[in-house]
Structure 1
Amino acid sequence: MTTAKTIAFFPEAAFGPALNCVGIAQELKKMGHNPVFVCDRGFAGVFAEYGFEEYLVNMSGDMSDEEVANYWDDFIANHLPHFHLSPLDQIETYVAPVWEAIVESAVSAEDDLKRQLDIIKPGLICVDNVIMFPAITKAGCPWIRIISCSENEITDPLVPPHLSGCSPGDVTGFEQFQTRFESAVADTHKDFNDFLATKDLPPYPAGEFFEPSPTMNFLLYPKPLAFERATPLPESQFQYLEGCVRNDGEYTIPAFPQALDNTPLIYVAFGSLGDADVELYQRMLATFAKLPYRFLMKVGEDLSVYEKPDNVHLKNWYPQPAVVPQVDLFIHHGGNNSFNEALYFGKPAIIMPYCWDGHDNATRIDDTGYGKKLPRYSWSEEALIESIEACLSDANMATKLQAVAAHMQQSEGTKKAAAVIHDVLQEANA
């Protein structure tokens, strides 16, 4: 390698994007570069644990450290009733309030972000977020956008609107969702455009809060599941990373009763924000208790609220990329990390979405035959059991999963991203 450069990663304050960036940063570090992380103060220590230097920004206004730590958990808990609604009816109740919070955080972060980038003086910035930060475009170096959510963040007339949960071809559904979305976020969108104007940046079209990078954009989505587009994405500006699975060490499967030896192992995880849904988890545990399978289930910090069957192991955190290769089925919420990791390791998935791009990923996994979509709340015990048994026994699905896993693993997304970043840096400094 020639000259080592400092690369600033700026992921949104959520574990999915944060840990995707860690995977890329690990590869850049091996190449001799100096990846560092710019992050919300509520994420202090997350990247240091992986050995990376952190630069903190205030994305939370005047909130105390305790309020910052609990913000999204409290936000999700307050919105639990809205997760019973369809993606269309979540627009006004959940999606619009989230966008309001995102815009507020972008405005709050701007001064700190500019100050930290002035200190870091990066050769390149990787931003993994859903909103533009003016300080990124004005930092005087190339920037790369990482798209951790579904690839439908990059719009196209043939691709379902982001967050809609629509299938391709549902033109009426597309139009209905987009019209309601643009109306619901109109005031927030105006506030954001007004903010951009103060930084001498042009406004965004209705309903849009970000743009593709003119340099390079990484899509974590696996290309075999990519949507057909009216305008194909040029490889010179868009690269599919085919997942982007980080190294999380090794995991030893805990002991279960001897009678369950060699039975299928099922992993259940609904993300850190999904753990507020205690009632749902209790209902699932009651169903799992009746099945001749082993379960690893991620839940919240308080394990005492659950009656644990002998065939279930409960924990508040698992090193997911180390767990998924060892299981036979993954039941999750449709977050893009979980979506990709199941495919990367060739595991069938049952997706039970509750919000955001989980709706899109659940529809996509069902439409393409790599797993099953199940409603998060209105499922019957019989439907859940049937879906589990179908995923464990479907030979055609298993064949498809083996093929997509081989494709994704051969692509080595983290190494591919690091190599592209290296080439962009070389070209910028030529």
Structure 2
Amino acid sequence: MAQKIFAFFPEAAFGPALNSVGIAQAVEALGHKAVFLSDPGFVEVYQGYGFEAHPVALSEPMPPEQMAKFWEDFINGHIPNFRKAPIDQIDNYVKDCWEAIVDSAKWAQKDLPGVLDKVKPDVIAVDNVILFPAIKQYGVPWVRVISCSENEIEDEGIPPHLSGCGENDAACHKAFRDRFNTVIKPIHDDFNAFLAECGEDAYPIGQFFEASPYMNLLLYPEPVKFQRDVPLDPGQFQYLEGCVRKEEPYEVPTFAKNNDGPLLYVSFGSLGAGDTDLLKRIIAALANSPYRALVNIGDYAAEYSDLPGNVQVAGWFPQPSVIPQVDAVIHHGGNNSFTECLYFGKPAIIMPYVWDGHDNATRVQETGHGFKMPRYDWTDAELLAKIETCLTDKAMAAKLAATSKHMQSQSGPAKAAKLLEGLAK
């Protein structure tokens, strides 16, 4: 097959960005060209993996450093809201997010047509939670990538996206949906007015995107997927079983203390690292434990001093090279961390703070692959007991081994690349 051009347009967050990198690597392995359409603050991320990347303005133009800090400042400004239940985040964090996301779609519409004309893609893959009309209208097959929890594709029988509700807790589902639709209505009305200007039909309340008629790729693995009232048609929806990218090798450093103890990896993602009080508290809880820990502290190295001998920190880790070498992971429930732990068969303790972290935390516990823990309301003894269970529970270990074997037999990025190539034909 002649070389085709595949354009990837992930949202400006490391989860979607790095999932798309994994798929793009597999597309290039088939002999095609992968190109990124990117928030200006993320262009260098894709270039760092060797890809061509074209900036698309998603907000008022500003210097790249300032752009990169926008979401970091946004998240840090909401740290007090991380203590709230998901339903109580709707009228602060969630509302503010949707306002910014709708704004980004309006900005993108100015830039996208010109960028698409320059790139001339044969297929476009979008990993975002909102419709970009220019992509739907460009005239080539477009694919929606769902790198968050699979409940981003709605179904009456499963928990609403962002709710953290249990699978069968119908009262929780209803309360969250009702509150979300009430709070979001003015933003949704504004988005529908924008869609009308672009010649698109209005979306029903609560929806900001649609399934692609061509193909939709869900990163959620089959062993944790929800029982839907209406099963997804495999001709239009495919589960990728995670999408783990290739990263540089990682060598575990020598620890001054507990050098042969079980190894933990602690990360709240690039944005969650701003919650330094919580990370310091976890480090203090681990200080007198028999474990070792690698802790991702993002850009906040200046906040940490006098670390215990069994803890080492870094501003970034090549996560897919680290997780296979550890015994358990404490994370925020981002979909990369969630699926990578399952892919490598590692138990996780998820302390969620926002977005689909709530859903993934509930799901990891419901399906027996780890624990959901409140972010702040825990004692050192409770945390250490949960870690010990992760390391010793035989049923959990067996379940993780089976899930890992299943996911690794599927090769998500290669499967995605083949599906995209099929659309280019």
Cα distance, 1:302 vs structure 2: 3.0
Contact map agreement 1:332 1:338 (CA 8 A) in 2: yes
1:157-196 matches, within 5 Å, as: 157-196=156-195
Cα distance, 1:44 vs structure 2: 1.9
CA distance in 2, matches of 1:191, 1:74: 25
Cα distance, 1:81 vs structure 2: 0.4
Deviates more, 1:341-350 or 1:285-294: 285-294
1:111-130 matches, within 5 Å, as: 111-130=110-129
CA distance in 1, matches of 2:215, 2:323: 30
2:268 is equivalent to residue 270 of structure 1: yes
Alpha carbon RMSD of aligned pairs, Å? 0.9
Contact map agreement 2:246 2:320 (CA 8 A) in 1: yes
CA distance in 2, matches of 1:76, 1:260: 34
Contact map agreement 2:165 2:172 (CA 8 A) in 1: yes
Q: Which residue of 1 aligns with 2:219?
A: 220
Q: Helix, strand or coil: the match of 1:10?
A: strand
How many corresponding residue pairs? Answer: 424
Give 2:350's aligned amino acid: I
Q: Which of the numbers 299, 302, 306 marks the counterpart of 2:300?
A: 302
Cα distance, 1:261 vs structure 2: 3.1
CA distance in 2, matches of 1:222, 1:140: 31
Q: Which residue of 1 aligns with 2:196?
A: 197
Q: Helix, strand or coil: the match of 1:252?
A: coil
Q: Helix, strand or coil: the match of 1:110?
A: helix
Cα distance, 1:382 vs structure 2: 1.4
Q: Which residue of 1 aligns with 2:57?
A: 58
Which runs of 5 or more residues in structure 1 are unaligned? none
1:85-107: CA deviation from partner (whole Å, max 9, x where unpaired)? 00010000110110000000110
Deviates more, 1:213-222 or 1:109-118: 109-118
Cα distance, 1:169 vs structure 2: 1.5
Contact map agreement 2:273 2:300 (CA 8 A) in 1: no
Contact map agreement 2:81 2:92 (CA 8 A) in 1: yes
CA distance in 1, matches of 2:248, 2:299: 22
Identity level (%) = 53
CA distance in 2, matches of 1:219, 1:65: 30
Cα distance, 1:249 vs structure 2: 2.1
Q: Helix, strand or coil: the match of 1:291?
A: coil
1:138-149 matches, within 5 Å, as: 138-149=137-148
1:360-408: CA deviation from partner (whole Å, max 9, x where unpaired)? 0000001111000100111111111111011011011000000000000
Q: Helix, strand or coil: the match of 1:158?
A: coil
2:14 is equivalent to residue 20 of structure 1: no
Give 2:102's aligned amino acid: V
Q: Which residue of 1 aligns with 2:311?
A: 312
Cα distance, 1:121 vs structure 2: 1.1
Q: Which residue of 2 aligns with 1:383?
A: 382
Q: Helix, strand or coil: the match of 2:329?
A: strand
Give 2:261's aligned amino acid: T
Deviates more, 1:54-63 or 1:345-354: 54-63
Cα distance, 1:12 vs structure 2: 0.3
CA distance in 1, matches of 2:303, 2:412: 39
2:344 is equivalent to residue 345 of structure 1: yes
CA distance in 2, matches of 1:249, 1:157: 42
CA distance in 1, matches of 2:278, 2:289: 17
CA distance in 1, matches of 2:394, 2:170: 33
1:308-353: CA deviation from partner (whole Å, max 9, x where unpaired)? 1110000010000000000000110000000000000000000000
TM-score by length of 2: 0.98
2:290 is equivalent to residue 287 of structure 1: no
CA distance in 2, matches of 1:77, 1:378: 20
Deviates more, 1:299-308 or 1:78-87: 299-308
CA distance in 2, matches of 1:274, 1:301: 11
1:45-84 matches, within 5 Å, as: 45-84=44-83
Cα distance, 1:65 vs structure 2: 3.4
Cα distance, 1:148 vs structure 2: 0.5
CA distance in 1, matches of 2:15, 2:190: 27
